[in-house]
Amino acid sequence: MQNLKQMSSQNKVGLAGGHRACAGCGFPQIIKMIYGQSPAPVVTTCATGCMEIATTIYPFTAWRGNFIHSAFENSAATISGIETAYQALKKQGRLPAEQEMNFVAIGGDGGTYDIGLQALSGAMERRHNILYICYNNEAYMNTGVQRSSATPQGGHTTTSPAGKVIPGKIQFPKDLTAIIAAHDVVYAGQASVGFHIDLMRKADQIFGKVGPKFLNVYTPCRLGWGSDPAQTMEIARLAVETCLWPIYEVVEGRWKLTRKIKEKKPITDFYKTQNRFRHLLKPENETLVKQIQEEVDRRWHDLLQRCGEGA
Amino acid sequence: MEKAIETMSSSGTTGKAEQKKEFQARTGNEAMAEAMRQINPDVCAAYPITPATEIVQIFANFVNDGLVKTEFITVESEHSAMSACIGSASSGARTMTATSSQGLALMYEMLYIAAGYRLPIVLAEVNRALSSPINIHCDHSDTMGGRDSGWIQLFSENAQEAYDNLIQAVRIAEHPDVLLPAWASTDGFIISHGMENIEIYPDEAVRQFIGEYKPAFTLLDNRKPFTLGAADLQDFYFEHRRAAYEGMRAAKKVILEIGREFGNKFGTTYGFFEGVHLEDAEVVMVALGSTAGTARVAIENLRERGIKAGLLKLRVFRPFPAEELVKALAHVPAIAVMDRSDSFNAQAGPLATEIKSALYDAGQHPKLINYIYGLGGRDIHFKELEQILEQTLQAGEPKDLNSRVVYWGVRE
């Protein structure tokens, strides 16, 4: 694994400075940590969203390697075409024999959990040699904070507002990582931008594997969450420590917790750091919070079982 | 007239016609699959849809039997098919796909993107009605739905033309002055599943004609990384769209050059359109696709009865050969424009709308009646085409929508 010092000395991958991501946004860190581990140049496809907009306003680009964005729902399908072209041209001897490349598709949670799910499932099932990264900030942030199927229960967004009758999003988020793991991929995992060593170690492992790989990386969005940009990393860690976002990996079918939580913090500790949960801390929503905590506990228990950590 | 004739298709104009030819019985789908085998693209990404399914089904056999070098991506939707094609073509691979109807409609978003990125993807399209109601048979609603997407569009009268057009589409799309995606279409079931005797050219001759693909750019070159698909705002978007327009304009010259080169090599010279008895025609039918074949019979029958009827079969719909077409029709007093789809603009079908626009610019005002016919695969008989031509000839100058646009053969 390349450590931070090594990564900063070989400043040739991922994003250049000067992109337009907000202060406190996690995705530039995600790219830095992951791309720093790739031993070969990376070709990137990115779904329409904050990352694509903030890094590529013509005639500028922050991408040091080859990059393509085409639409919202098709990052995985586009990378399928690129990776296949690479295989075809390599086979015909039209690319230098020694040339190695990694193929990475990126999407936000909207572009991955929702509109891009079909393309993602297809690419994983066809077993392309790709890595798909979901940078998950739990809502459609680029269009102005709308609910996605990754939005947490009770979370306020502009389409699941904390109203007088309905207190935010009604449903618990979809377990996408498990869905992708069910495709029998060579690697599926969850990470958090707040635990960067864990994230880098996962990336290092991923780039050593041939076949379909998926990494779901949790990252706060200070605008969408109503959080302090200076607290991004703390909040990203708190999500893990409350077990709202357990970090683990499924490597060739084997589930493994990569951060054990000995003393689980209450979810309200996480809620307190963000405006999107402010309404949940009011007395009238006590029952709802209790239900969500029970569901978090139940899922955590199930995950421990799957990881052979059974209590 | 001389210039107009240059823009027309003609057959048997070269010595090639004397060489040994190989004829085979093929359906339109088989002919297109055969063209794909000979084109031998690097990558094909496709999804099944009636009536185009067979094309990729046959092609999958070519792949699995090792007859082509192609990597075949069996995507999970047409949207992903075109997305994968975009990824592949951006990576310097010659890339093809095939689809029809709802499949083309599902690609719609990506059609524009393929054209905007100037990617010479080639698509074998089989014309089929769009839902709703669901219908698997021929009309041109699907292909007309993509007419403003920036793709080159070639129509085929029969399986031979489908085969010839698909081969030429590769050259047109990849031409450095054009760099736009292209599709060649057949009429669903009528051509796609109809067996015909067609000439298959030798593999080597097609390979030579197609030539080696030299991509303008590739995502697989690390030496000069670039970003494709950046957010393009008020300051540059307009210029990029304009550049695509220049490609489409340049395509007119390129299509004729390649059509001539094709004629020199294989015997049939292709232009924008083909004229039958246009010279002295008093009434002309303008038609696309298989109906042109039926119209040939109608024209001859009318000629036998002393009616000076003619046919203009349009091959190239995008770019639209407006100037050449109106020149070819300059002396014609009455025109029946056949539209196998409606644009629902409550004015005229897509072909008639284009032709009227071209006539206006040329200052020509013939009597023009638009016939919307054959939607959802409803058959059109040569006797009906005779009636249409006679009716067009005899009709007074159309004065209202009902006399300008006739839904032919519909039960009201």
3-state secondary structure chain A: CCCHHHHHHCCCCCECCCCCCCCCCCHHHHHHHHHCCCCCCEEEEECCCHHHHHHCECCCCCECCCEECCCCCCHHHHHHHHHHHHHHHHHCCCCCCCCCCEEEEEEEHHHHHHCCHHHHHHHHHCCCCCEEEEEECCCECCCCCECCCCCCCCCCCCCCCECCCCECCCCCCCCHHHHHHCCCCCEEEEEECCCHHHHHHHHHHHHCCCCCEEEEEECCCHHHHCCCHHHHHHHHHHHHHCCCCCCEEEECCEEEECCCCCCCCCHHHHHCCCHHHHHHHCHHHHHHHHHHHHHHHHHHHHHHHHCCCCC
Contact indicator for B286, B315 with CB cutoff of 8 Å? no
User: If pLDDT is split at 50, 70 and 90, which confidence band does B6 have?
Assistant: low
DSSP strand pairing (A213-218 vs B122-127): unpaired
Mean pLDDT of all residues in B187-191: 98
Note the pLDDT of residue A189.
98
Note the pLDDT of residue B8.
79
Note the pLDDT of residue B5.
45
The alpha carbon torsion through A14, A19, A22, A26 (nearest 10 deg) reads: 0
Q: Which of A59, A82, A91 sits opposite B87 (nearest CB)?
A: A82
The CATH number of the domain where A284 resides is what?
Answer: 3.40.50.970
User: If pLDDT is split at 50, 70 and 90, which confidence band does B103 have?
Assistant: very high
Mutant choice from B47, B83, B217, B236 vs A, greatest count of A C-beta within 10 A: B83
| Count of pairs with CB atoms under 8 A, one residue in A, one in B | 171
User: If pLDDT is split at 50, 70 and 90, which confidence band does A310 have?
Assistant: confident
| Domain span holding position A33 | 4-306
Note the pLDDT of residue A127.
98
Residue contact A84–B228, C-beta within 8 A: no
Note the pLDDT of residue B4.
40
Please tell me the distance in Å from A131's CA to the nearest CA on chain B. Answer: 15
With 80 as the cut, is the pLDDT of residue B282 above it? yes
What are the two backbone dihedrals, phi and then psi, of residue A50, each rounded to the nearest 5 degrees? -55, -45
Domain-embedded: residue A311: no
ipTM at complex level: 0.97
Tell me which long-range contacts B391-395 makes (C-beta under 8 A, separation of at least 24): B392/B283, B392/B334, B392/B335, B392/B336, B392/B367, B393/B282, B393/B283, B393/B307, B393/B309, B393/B334, B395/B334, B395/B367, B395/B369
Count of CB atoms situated within 10 Å of the CB of B67: 13
Provide the phi-psi class of A37: left if phi over 0, else alpha when psi is between -120 and 50, else beta. alpha
Domain-embedded: residue A203: yes
Mean pLDDT of all residues in B241-261: 98
**Closest-CA residue in chain B for A70?**
B229
Which residues in chain A are closer than 8 Å to B233, comparing Cβ atoms? Answer: 57-58
The alpha carbon torsion through A57, A62, A68, A73 (nearest 10 deg) reads: -70
Percentages (nearest 5) of helix, strand, coil residues in chain B:
40, 20, 40
User: If pLDDT is split at 50, 70 and 90, which confidence band does B11 have?
Assistant: low
pLDDT digits (tens, 9 = 90+) for B312-347: 999 999 999 999 999 999 999 999 999 999 999 999
**Closest-CA residue in chain A for B228?**
A68
User: If pLDDT is split at 50, 70 and 90, which confidence band does B114 have?
Assistant: very high
Mean pLDDT of all residues in B123-132: 98
B117 touches chain A (CB under 8 A): yes
Mutant choice from B71, B107, B238 vs A, greatest count of A C-beta within 10 A: B71
Domain-embedded: residue A178: yes
Mean pLDDT of all residues in B239-250: 97
User: If pLDDT is split at 50, 70 and 90, which confidence band does A7 have?
Assistant: confident
With 60 as the cut, is the pLDDT of residue A53 above it? yes
Average pLDDT, chain B: 95
Which residues in chain A are closer than 8 Å to B89, comparing Cβ atoms? Answer: 81, 85
**Distance of alpha carbon A29 from alpha carbon A56, whole angstroms:** 17
pLDDT digits (tens, 9 = 90+) for B217-237: 999 999 989 999 999 999 999
Looking at residue B148, its amino acid is D
With 60 as the cut, is the pLDDT of residue B15 above it? no
Mean pLDDT of all residues in A66-84: 98
**Distance of alpha carbon A231 from alpha carbon A234, whole angstroms:** 5
**Distance of alpha carbon B217 from alpha carbon A36, whole angstroms:** 26
Which residues in chain B are closer than 8 Å to A41, comparing Cβ atoms? Answer: 222, 225
With 60 as the cut, is the pLDDT of residue B239 above it? yes
Mutant choice from A84, A90, A98 vs B, greatest count of B C-beta within 10 A: A84
Percent above pLDDT 70 for chain B: 96
Please tell me the distance in Å from B389's CA to the nearest CA on chain A. Answer: 47
Domain-embedded: residue A57: yes
In DSSP terms, B198 is beta-bridged to: B24
How many Å is the maximal CA-CA distance in chain A?
68
With 60 as the cut, is the pLDDT of residue B18 above it? no
Mean pLDDT of all residues in A33-50: 96
User: If pLDDT is split at 50, 70 and 90, which confidence band does A5 have?
Assistant: confident
Q: How far is CA B386 from CA B301, B304, B329, B381, in A?
A: 8, 12, 19, 9
Note the pLDDT of residue A311.
56
How many domains does chain A fold into? 1
B149 touches chain A (CB under 8 A): no
With 60 as the cut, is the pLDDT of residue B1 above it? no
B11 touches chain A (CB under 8 A): no
Domains of chain B in start order, with CATH, are: 20-268 (3.40.50.970), 273-407 (3.40.50.920)
In DSSP terms, B370 is beta-bridged to: B337, B405
**Helix B159-174 vs helix B237-266: angle between axes, to the nearest 10 degrees?**
130
pLDDT digits (tens, 9 = 90+) for A255-305: 999 999 999 999 999 999 999 999 999 999 999 999 999 999 999 999 999
Residue contact B220–A86, C-beta within 8 A: yes
**Distance of alpha carbon A247 from alpha carbon A216, whole angstroms:** 9
With 80 as the cut, is the pLDDT of residue B290 above it? yes
Residue contact B43–A122, C-beta within 8 A: no
Provide the 8-state DSSP code for B397.
-
Average pLDDT, chain A: 96
